[in-house]
């Protein structure tokens, strides 16, 4: 085989695999996703009435005392430059950030010094847009939310029940932790408050 034929064969192989992996495979996977997993294939969008309010896959910034808060974000919840702070465990900036986050979280949530603050409320996630928090992180926010919404003890108990009902179990029963989606929880909280 001469050089001309080798180049011609290489171009044919390149075009063949470009069509297979760049067009046919994505179209098939997209079609399967739309047929069997339409909600997930469309970004797991959360609708309230007729408008989209977010995605179950992306954390959002909640600052009102009347809502559950997401974990801190190094990128201010912007999904485009998704990423963490990249601070190492020996970083003085990380230690200061931890201390500031803990003091602010304890103050805002009216917590005593003896209460352990869940770690996800003190450190940002690797993606910066983690949509979930642990059940414990939701529990420690109940007092603040109850006071802000002027809940009585019965409504406060309903809030704990709401957290329990929205808690997702571990994947396959053993991977990860039990978590609560903050956006969905806050939507259900508004529905409960009506």
Dump pLDDT digits (tens) for 137-157: 999 999 999 999 999 999 999
Region 30-46 average pLDDT: 84
Same domain, 83 and 154: yes
Inform me whether the pLDDT recorded for 158 exceeds 90.
yes
Answer yes or no: is 32 within a domain. Answer: yes
Q: What is the pLDDT of residue 159?
A: 95
Same domain, 65 and 125: yes
Structural domain span for residue 29: 1-42
Same domain, 80 and 24: no
Same domain, 187 and 122: yes
Inform me whether the pLDDT recorded for 184 exceeds 80.
yes
Assigned token pair, 139: 């529990």
3-state percent helix, strand, coil for the chain, nearest multiple of 5: 50, 10, 40
pLDDT in tens, 118-128: 999 998 888 88
Same domain, 63 and 149: yes
Q: What is the pLDDT of residue 147?
A: 95
Same domain, 62 and 117: yes
Inform me whether the pLDDT recorded for 82 exceeds 80.
no
Kindly indicate the confidence band of residue 164, based on its pLDDT and cuts at 50, 70 and 90: very high
pLDDT top residue among 177 and 18: 18
Same domain, 23 and 93: no
Inform me whether the pLDDT recorded for 65 exceeds 80.
yes
Q: What is the pLDDT of residue 42?
A: 78
From 37-51, 84-98, 116-130, the region with the lowest mean pLDDT = 37-51
Residue spans of alpha helices (H) in 68-152:
92-108, 135-139, 142-148
What total number of domains does the chain contain?
Answer: 2
Inform me whether the pLDDT recorded for 39 exceeds 80.
no
What pTM does this model have?
Answer: 0.79
Kindly indicate the confidence band of residue 192, based on its pLDDT and cuts at 50, 70 and 90: confident
Inform me whether the pLDDT recorded for 59 exceeds 90.
no
Q: Are strands 179-181 and 167-168 parallel, antiparallel or unpaired?
A: antiparallel
Q: 82: closest CA among 101, 53, 59?
A: 59
């Amino acid at each position: 085989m001469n050089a001309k034929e080798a180049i011609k064969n290489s171009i044919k192989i390149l075009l063949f695999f470009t069509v297979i992996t760049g067009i046919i495979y994505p179209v098939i996977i997209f079609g399967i996703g739309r047929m069997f997993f339409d909600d997930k294939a469309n970004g797991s969008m959360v609708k309230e009435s007729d408008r989209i309010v977010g995605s179950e896959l992306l954390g959002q910034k909640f600052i009102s005392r009347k809502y559950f808060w997401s974990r801190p974000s190094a990128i201010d919840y912007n999904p485009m430059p998704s990423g963490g702070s990249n601070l190492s465990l020996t970083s003085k900036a990380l230690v200061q950030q931890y201390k500031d986050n803990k003091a602010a979280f304890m103050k805002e949530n009216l917590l005593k010094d003896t209460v352990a603050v869940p770690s996800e409320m003190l450190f940002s996630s690797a993606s910066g847009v983690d949509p979930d928090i642990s059940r414990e992180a939701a529990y420690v926010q109940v007092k603040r939310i109850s006071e802000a919404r002027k809940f009585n003890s019965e409504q406060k108990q309903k809030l704990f029940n709401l957290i329990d009902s929205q808690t997702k179990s571990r994947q396959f029963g053993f991977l990860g932790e039990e978590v609560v989606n903050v956006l969905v929880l806050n939507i259900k909280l508004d529905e409960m408050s009506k």
